[in-house]
Structure 1
Amino acid sequence: MSPDDILAFVEREYSHLVAEPRHNPDGWAFFLGAPRRGADSNRIFRAVQHSSGGPTRLKLAVTSRLKGEPVEIDFTGSTAALQALIDRELERYRDGL
């Protein structure tokens, strides 16, 4: 799935998440509500692609904050796998509040 495919899925299934475009690399960051950055960030995850046709990289923002180190994966899964990742990040975000 490309970052734009992920955007379409999120807009359809997670309308409460706010998407913000990213550049260099291109893609999207997804926030729970109006975007906040810094120590009080509400970013849930981001999806970027370094080159056309290259793998989509997901940064699991909540897990990264909890572990204190970046957690990034190449995502080649299905919409069900994406949904499981998003649900887990949202659960971790809510548990961390």
Structure 2
Amino acid sequence: MIEFYAYRFQNRDTEQACFLFSKRLFQQLLVDVHSIVESTRLYYYRTHQKEVRADMYKEIEEAVLRGDTNPAPVGKHIVLPSSFTGGARYMFQNYQDDMAICR
């Protein structure tokens, strides 16, 4: 998906891309495209949790060990990898990298 939009937003000498010159409308298009790409990535992570190994997390295991029979408070956790820009793991990894530079 992102490759398609990267291709469409390139400025070419052979064809006129009028949306590149439409100022605020182009800015809104960029925001919309960013939203589409991010929601597509989030959907992928939600549907491919086995690849992210989300079943290894402790909240559900602790609930089972406590003997909780009602799964409603536990909920379903969607685990984002550290490569997802803006996620908690991404921010923590960048923080750790910054602190390593400061030392």
TM-score, length of structure 1 as denominator length: 0.30
- Based on CA coordinates, which of the two structures has the bigger radius of gyration? 2
- Which one scores higher on RCO, CA 8 angstroms, separation ≥ 6? 1
Q: Which is helix-richer, 1 or 2? A: 2
